[in-house]
A and B are shown apart, each in its own frame.
Chain A
Amino acid sequence: MSTLAIDKAGPSRKVKYGSMSRDRAWALRWSYFFLVLFAIFFLTPPIYMLITSLKSSAEISAATNPWWVFHPTLSNYVELLTSNQFLRFFWNSSIVSLAVVLVTMLISVPAAFALARMKFWGSTTLATGVFLTYLIPDSLLFIPLFKMLAMVQDLTGITLLNRWYVLLFIYPTLTVPFCTWIMIGYFASIPKELDEAALIDGASWLQTLTRIFIPVALPGLIAATIFAFTVSWAQFLYPLVFTTSVDQLVLPVGITTTLIKGDVFNWGQIMTGALLGAAPPLIIYAFLMDYYIAGLTAGATKG
């Protein structure tokens, strides 16, 4: 039994006899032991979210064993999913995230193609610039952006502050640089002969992009899409600064500001809201884990 397990253990080593295999068996046991410990550490908060979301307010305030649900109820879910306000947050988040994904892809994919394949004046500088932009955090830009939006609003009379659609312009500053960067990596890994063959076959640059590069780099495209969506969905600082009215809020801000307000924390509902808010990225992750992880590692290992 143990030899069988060790045999499969081996990307690392061949099966050896005697002390070697005994060492390996022990190493394996320790590995599992620590993995279980870390898994408990990593999974406690989401599990606790789930536990609390199934409790009634009465059970929470009764301070029974917090790790167990004695009278499971779905009332928190029912209440939130029938609340217009919560559905509004969910709707805002969905619209903003999907639109940002679209905008991001429309900007990054053509740009990445040009930067990866069409050497032109300043293309290397621009590629480096894109990477640097990716390193500029939101917390450096929210104040000048806030002031800029206010100024544009004064100049043009178009209301920008406290409107969810302003996020469609702001979020791409977070998503586009990274997506462009990893798409450059994916495009660059396509053999040069492939676009030369397309060129000889009579394809224009745009046809090469749409009919060869996009289909061939589809895994990269999916990874970039997932990244853009999860970043948009999770963004907290920009909507907190730029939107205030309840009907303009996206989920993270909506839950933290409306459900937490007041003296009484309705923890059952907060945890339910948080869990529902975490659900879309978690579902995407569950189904497209390999693309998700590919996108995560691509930033540093590609390009």
Chain B
Amino acid sequence: MAKNMQNTAYRKLDVDAFDPEQYNENDDSVETPGLGPDQHTIQSFLASSRLQDALHASLLTPPLDTKDQGVKDRATQLVAKVLQSFKTTEIEAAVQKLSIDEADILMKYVYKAMEIQADAAICQSLLAWHAQIVAKFGHGCIIRVLSGRQRL
């Protein structure tokens, strides 16, 4: 029996760091100008209470590939604002009109908004959206947020 079995210090060594062919999955994403949805368009849609148009506009050009977390957070706040303008009863009809691409993006915003804007009123609205998206697009929609490499 080896004597120093209690000594586990060697395990702290990150052997993968010494691998010359080491691959960092984040290297794949190309830095692109962080666009994010267009604030002015959305504001004007909201002002004229064209909520469905505001929702579609907010799901355009998500800043998924940028490395600037600030851009992502601002976009999330903007989308969360759009989502909150809907009454609970209108959410189902709005979700029915989404395409699967839009739904996948919206789900990412919903989870991110839950993370960064965790107060009771917003969460209630977000949970209602979440429930309706899952009802239409199934568990697959949640899985794609969890497994996807492009994050908000």
Do A and B make up one complex?
A: no
Using a CB–CB cutoff of 8 Å, the interface residues on chain A facing chain B are: none
